[in-house]
Structure 1
């Protein structure tokens, strides 16, 4: 005689998970960003060269912002200069004077504002163009990628300095012309790097899932591709600023800058026209040249450190 087992009760559905409290998703995203920033800063601090570059840039930026308070706006006035022409360094003029009797230390501080502003804006324009072209070419592919990459190759084989000189010569002499010339001439490298990164991101499974769920081109590029290429864009921007500052100084040295503003390259151009090289007026040449070299080195050190943190495989020396 067999006994039948008692019938099992029907399985009950598992209770639904509690809904997240309003704003918890945004709070979680903010917490993740804070942790990422803290982790990035911890890894960045391990690079002594990057800290040196960051400290130098902080000091230079502070001097540039405080230039109107330290030297005033009248330092550029050539009709009411306080000193004599080409005076050597002294207690009154620590870096001497120029051919108009203006204080070279004040001109150097005032030129910091122009050189940094031009470098930042030109690098931002260059990276923006390169990022846009790279993402579009990597996402759409096909004939669009072929045409855009052929145009990019044409800009790559064209010397960027020569192209910037041509643009600065054809257009009017102004700060915006210099920014436009540098930005248009130096975007192809960023476009190549961003396109390669975009192709790598597009091959990941979650991109296919996003497409299957109905994500459009704009959604994929702005919500998935762009956040993944932003670390590369950030590193490329810091590296591009130093090149932009050097190019601006070169254009100003060649007389293609804005003659109405004071920049480090413009100071070198004035020193060359005055004959400071042949006459031995080293105080007219050395300060702006050293300033250009220091700022370019500081941005390069910061860019290499950021690149090493974002991509540890590079093994950049600390």
Structure 2
């Protein structure tokens, strides 16, 4: 009977945990819906994401081929080519849709890597403190004072030119801000009484950081991730525009770099420059709006002060 009762309590505890998670998610969504700008940003990202995922069906794979181009060089927008063509006669609309896949993928992966590094460093520094935190934060400060774009350019130049190189270059150079924020939050969490009780009951470093500190800093990490994605996309576009991206794939930054090489600026071929530039700005703005809305929901004091 005791084993049966223990099993029932475990199952009941698991069900209660899921109920609480669903209620927390529902409260978060109700709070998020109150931010109209966040909904606009989310809708824009949903449309762009669906277009990127459906690129093979919407525009086909042949649009990236130079030898199978159907239009003339640098044709202006028309009924056949809504956004015009590039110097090879390829549809800029098709290239824009395919470029969304690479730009969004690089932005998400780079932001995830950056926030993961920053969260690990911040939690470790805030938890252990002492000389360890001093050394770690001095390294963090060094990365903060160094221009992240310059460091990313150096890494992208030294390493092989590929999408993963760009992801590593952005992720490795943009984590310090997250680390400092997470460290401050970790110090605040560890000053609470239940952390002392957990330690008194024999909880080790891994237990305290994984079971108590991490869940409390996750809202901050989530908000920081949404804000970092827009920065990562802009950095990827900058690296690609400088010719440091993967030349075998189509990205929005690469389209701008191709337009520059084709002389679109001096020739007045605005349709070659405007679509990728506007797309980069829209995606960055959409992620920023979503990030601000998430931040306001997770930290109500920010919303009250605005």
* Interval containing the TM-score (normalised by the shorter chain): over 0.9
Selected match of 2:57 from 69, 85, 91: 69
Deviation of 1:316 after TM superposition, in Å, equals: 7.0
Q: How does 1:275-294 map to 2 (within 5 A)?
A: 275-294=263-282
Partner of 2:230: 242
Distance in 1, matches of 2:260 and 2:127, equals 49
Which runs of 5 or more residues in structure 1 are unaligned? 1-16
Cross-structure match for 1:176: 164
Measured in 2, the distance between the counterparts of 1:95 and 1:133 equals 45
Task: Please tell me whether residue 91 in structure 1 is matched to residue 75 in structure 2.
Answer: no
User: In 1, Cα distance between the equivalents of 2:106 and 2:7?
Assistant: 50
What are the superposed Cα offsets for residues 249-288 of structure 1, whole Å, 9 maximum, x if unpaired? 0000000000000000000000001000111101000000
Pairs within 5 Å for 1:122-201: 122-201=110-189
The SS at the match of 1:23 is: helix
Inter-partner Cα distance in structure 1 for 2:298 and 2:270? 42
Q: Answer yes or no: is the 8 Å Cα contact 1:86–1:98 preserved in 2.
A: yes
In structure 2, how many angstroms separate the alpha carbons of the residues matched to 1:121 and 1:87?
A: 35
261, 271, 274: which one pairs with 2:262? 274
User: Hey, which bits of structure 1, 4+ residues long, moved more than 3 A?
Assistant: 17-22
In structure 2, distance between residues paired with 1:123 and 1:18: 43
Distance 1:316 1:266, change over 3 A: farther
Verify the 8 A CA contact 1:305 1:316 in the aligned structure 2: no
CA contact (8 A) 2:297 2:303 kept: no
Match of 1:27 among 15, 18, 24: 15
Question: Does 2:262 align with 1:310?
Answer: no
CA distance in 2, matches of 1:96, 1:60: 20
Give the Cα separation in 2 of the matches to 1:230 and 1:301.
19
Q: Report the aligned-residue RMSD.
A: 1.4
Q: Distance in 2 between matches of 1:239 and 1:19?
A: 43
- The aligned counterpart of 1:9 is none
| CA separation of 1:209 and 1:271: change in aligned 2, threshold 3 A | same
Deviations 1:59-91 (A, max 9, x none): 000000000111111111111211111011111
**Aligned residue among 238, 243, 247 for 1:259:** 247
**Please, which runs of 5 or more residues in structure 2 have no aligned partner?**
none
Please report the TM-score for the alignment, with normalisation by the length of structure 1: 0.93
